[in-house]
Structure 1
């Protein structure tokens, strides 16, 4: 049987003909939650899927690549929620600032914590500042910049450097946005603190206009 040469050329050498990356990430995430991030091996993930480790390596070059992909998947959920809140700024930038403060906190708790305790993978990624964490923080700064631009356009905020201001605001939200801080203060009323921080940011932005 003659194989179409165009089909052969379109396949990347060393890659599986069927993309199983999502399946691999699903399996890895289940195992991380069931037996622990640090106790899970490549062999465990392969057995969960009924495949050989060699086939798994066709989709991911090493264990760290799987870990980063799982972390990115979780962080993307939070970033998407932040942007949904930020897009409210077109009609009400103040409401958007309050919304993003609460939404990121809520999604951090929902996505990165299990039974009230921080996901171990999240803890390692945060402590070691993996590239996916830096990308996530850039995404949050981008969402804040969007709110600031809309507030300026409406004549409600004044800031000379939107990029620097967005970075300061993300840092100011550390008590309610950083997973380790959320873990330490899990028994505090973090929603109230998030509201207070958002109000403080807005007062500062408005004072420059008045």
Structure 2
């Protein structure tokens, strides 16, 4: 069972999201709250797998909650679900370690799929967010792209192969099937790649790979 903690300061939004996730028999919303600080406490209390967080909340916003969870509950994976998909929020969320970024215009089925994908070790960005990320990378300067290429180039060939598949948004199981590796081996590769590239999660290594032109 995928245990989810939901945080949004709008009670109607929380009720709607809870109803959507309740339609999936493998997802359980174990707690919902109106601020990021309480969300962190609920994650720790329930040992939740997923934190589904709005950005703009009182006490502690969603991005602050992502950072705190990275310190206190590193096995919990975070998804930002927000109305505000501007460039600054996307940059802040992904750099903080979020494993997903969804807009509140996301279809119910995509929300359920995103929770499952992130729980399985993948990353999920709304299509509109993906296009913004590509645009942001396109505006990065040549020096930044060269540095990214040098960092990725220092990886072993097999690590680069796995990184390329991760950058396409594939889960560990899908990477394993493509690369003829066990899922456990893929997890080991991904962990080693994140360490070598000094990245906090799959989203960050995927963005680095794209910036490097892999």
Q: Does the TM-score normalized on the shorter chain lie above 0.5?
A: no
Greater share of residues in helix: 1
Which structure has the greater CA radius of gyration? 1
TM (norm. structure 1) is 0.30
Query: Which of structures 1 and 2 has the larger relative contact order (alpha carbons within 8 angstroms, sep 6+)?
Result: 1
